[in-house]
Amino acid sequence: MEKSLNPAASRERMLAALAGLVVLGVLAWFTIDPSAVFHVHGFDNRYMGFEGRDVPVRWLPILFFGLFGLRIVSANLRARFEESKEAQRLM
């Protein structure tokens, strides 16, 4: 199997990036105080409403890193799909 010209299609690079995000997530989890919260004030209009609530700060980096991980995986899958489509076109 020949090496891909597109670096986004590399499975090793994807796994290294995801491992980096996991390390950053673990570091964020253990360095943020569990009692730290953002207070979100209540919101109410005709269609929806919610009371004021506290959002734990500890979960926010996990959410962001998860979204970055989703982006990395989708970019890798797209690059591998385009590469296989190009290979089939050349045959």
What are the residue ranges spanned by the domains of the chain? Answer: 8-90
In the prediction, which pLDDT does 28 show? 95
Helix/strand/coil for 49: strand
| Interatomic CA distance for residues 1 and 91, integer angstroms | 15
| Interatomic CA distance for residues 1 and 6, integer angstroms | 14
Reported as a single tens digit per residue, the pLDDT across 21-77 is 999 999 999 999 989 988 877 777 777 666 777 888 999 999 999 999 999 999 999
| Interatomic CA distance for residues 47 and 10, integer angstroms | 46
Residue 9 has pLDDT above 70, yes or no: yes
Model-level pTM?
0.75
Packing angle, helices 59-90 and 11-31, rounded to 10: 180
- Amino acid identity of residue 37, one-letter, is V
In the prediction, which pLDDT does 42 show? 72
| Interatomic CA distance for residues 82 and 77, integer angstroms | 9
